[in-house]
Amino acid sequence: MVAWAHGAGHLDGLVALAGTGSSTGDLLRVAGVTAVAANVVNNLPAYLALEPAGVGEPTRLMAVLVGANVGPLVTPWASLATLLWLQRCRTAGVRWRLWRLALAGAACAVLAVTASALALGLLGG
């Protein structure tokens, strides 16, 4: 489905939103866009949708991976790991209100994605 959407040009705007370049700011941008996309749809299709934003530039591709794998903590459907974690909490009797999960996940995601992208900028630049 994602390959079809790319072929039809439906994802061109999303890839453009991720920008170009490999400065620290550029890496923060592509990782952030990927993290938001991962929370909207799911981390796997988000990665596939934004992979072209990193093709040919290993540091940018790593930033896409950071966004797709570190960022999807806000919405329960953002990754299989988040769904499994939530299910294990429920099995153990721990109940999370979705708004509380989203707030805690947003705080963690912003900090983790930012720190990871900054590290990429320092190491890759």
* pLDDT-derived band at 10, boundaries 50, 70, 90: very high
Q: Report the mean per-residue pLDDT for the chain.
A: 93
Q: What integer is the mean pLDDT of 79-91? A: 89
Which tokens go with 104?
A: 């805690």
Winning range, highest mean pLDDT, from 75-84, 103-112, 116-125: 103-112
Domain count, the chain: 1
Domain that holds residue 53: 2-124
Q: Is the pLDDT of residue 28 over 80?
A: yes
What are the respective helix, strand and coil percentages of the chain, to the nearest 5?
75, 0, 25
Question: Mean pLDDT, to the nearest integer, of 54-73?
Answer: 95
For residue 5, what are the CA distances in angstroms to 9, 10, 13, 105?
Answer: 6, 5, 11, 29
For residue 125, what pLDDT band results from cuts at 50, 70 and 90?
low
